[in-house]
Structure 1
């Protein structure tokens, strides 16, 4: 095993491959990656305003409104009153949206289980050992 410290460049390259893998195998629920990210974000953080969803997703407010309207018609999102500001409307994920997320996670897990079965026991152990550190790294980046 290499004792060379990880570089941001090397980590970035590896994570780009992992992100591509996750996107390519995440087709359950027939939703776009942006829609899936919105569903996951709402499931993680709770109800949000459309403007905040647009900011986080890096899309325009009108584009997010269209996406929210589509996901609402499909039953994956619902609009609810904002208790803090009765003039505002929040968007929340529904049980149907949570099921789409769960199906996508099950699909990814199945693909990754199959891939893990094809790599060496040493690589599986290294991947398992790296997971807590990767999780902490993600927390550090997402908190800033």
Structure 2
């Protein structure tokens, strides 16, 4: 790997790790699978109960109608509650159900267990390199978010 190919190789590695983690955890979940966008929306609503559809769409970088479709599916599955916003009767506020919180908790535990098991298979130098990379990856995510917010 050289400086010229590093950005592409890093992006490929991150996408590959995320995809494999999502697939492995999804396969271990006993309930019908949720798509990645559904899990992301549930996580956002759990972190910010009462968020509106347009704010969720902005946060997830999705079209409002796409988020509205996801919300409808998750309401039908019993994972979200849609309430009328008392400040604006035309807007909806989203709240997670206990089933959503339980599912997200199970997802996070299984994801952490999977990564923990896989890290244990690496040598100490590789584990140390990954540990040291986490702050830089968080900064990279923040700069990507800032740039997206400015566009």
Instruction: Tell me if TM exceeds 0.5.
Output: yes
CA RMSD of aligned residues (A): 2.7
Aligned residues: 142
Corresponding residue for residue 137 of structure 1: 140
Moved more, 20-29 or 41-50: 41-50
Contact 1:47 1:91 in 2 (8 A): yes
Q: Deviations 1:15-50 (Å, cap 9, x if unpaired)? A: 111121222123135312121111112223443333
The structure, 1 or 2, with the larger RCO (C-alpha pairs under 8 Å, 6+ apart) is 1
Question: Which segments of 5 or more consecutive residues in structure 2 lack a partner in the other structure?
Answer: none
Trace 1:1-144 onto structure 2 (pairs within 5 A): 7-27=6-26, 28=29, 29=31, 30-54=33-57, 56=60, 58=62, 61=65, 63-144=66-147
Q: CA deviation at 1:83?
A: 3.2
The answer to whether the 8 A contact 1:34-1:57 is kept is no
Q: TM-score, normalization: structure 2?
A: 0.77
Separation (CA, whole Å) in 2 of partners of 1:100 and 1:59? 25
- From the superposition, tell whether residues 5 and 121 of structure 1 become closer, same or farther in structure 2 (CA, over 3 Å): farther
2:7 and 2:48 mapped to 1: Cα distance? 28
Q: Distance in 2 between matches of 1:59 and 1:21?
A: 26
Given that 1:22 and 1:108 are in contact with CA atoms closer than 8 Å, whether structure 2 keeps it comes out as yes
TM-score by length of 1: 0.80
Gaps of 5+ in 1: none
Q: Deviations over 1:72-128 (max 9, x none)?
A: 132210012213312222222223212211111111111111111111011011111
